[in-house]
Amino acid sequence: MQCILSASPPPQLRTPGSTPLPTEIQAKLFDAAMEAKSFSYSPYSKFPVGAAVLSESGAVFLGCNVENASYGGAICGERTAFVKAVSEGARKFVAVAVVTDLKSFASPCGFCRQFMVEFGKDLQVYLCQADGSIQFHVLRDLLPHSFGPEDLETFNAQ
């Protein structure tokens, strides 16, 4: 875990959604995702992925993809970062930055999108290229009509 913000997170971290984070915070997330990508274990696909998840507290959790010879045992960088964050007690998140070596923006896979919805549809998603280019999205736009915790709450309330 890294802390890229002061002890008192700025107000924009308390209201994630359609307003992008300040450029300097985006740049720090990009740097963290690049660092995470350097740890990728991708001997089969040769496709390294790094992710950095920003919690509401200002803590940043890094994750990289970890492949496995059985293929099905692999885990994406985004899920690695979230699993690390949750295992350290974080539950509320503002943003995730994802970086690959593609010359175009690579969006999280469907499995990762569904996994992230568990923690909020207003999560900010920053797709990053190695040259520092960043593209901003909100998770609800990347996974419309998703199934999440609120659906189970509605079902269980019946």
Catalytic center residues: 78
Q: Note whether 150 and 121 are within 8 A (CB).
A: no
Place of tokens 């901003």: 136
Nearest to 127 by CA among 145, 149, 112: 112
CA angle, 38 as apex, 52 and 110 as ends, to 5°?
Answer: 50
Q: How far apart are CA 32 and CA 59, in angstroms?
A: 11
Buried (b) or exposed (e) across 7-33, using 16+ Cβ within 10 A?
eebeeebeebeeebbeeebbbbbbbbb
Q: Note whether 34 and 130 are within 8 A (CB).
A: yes
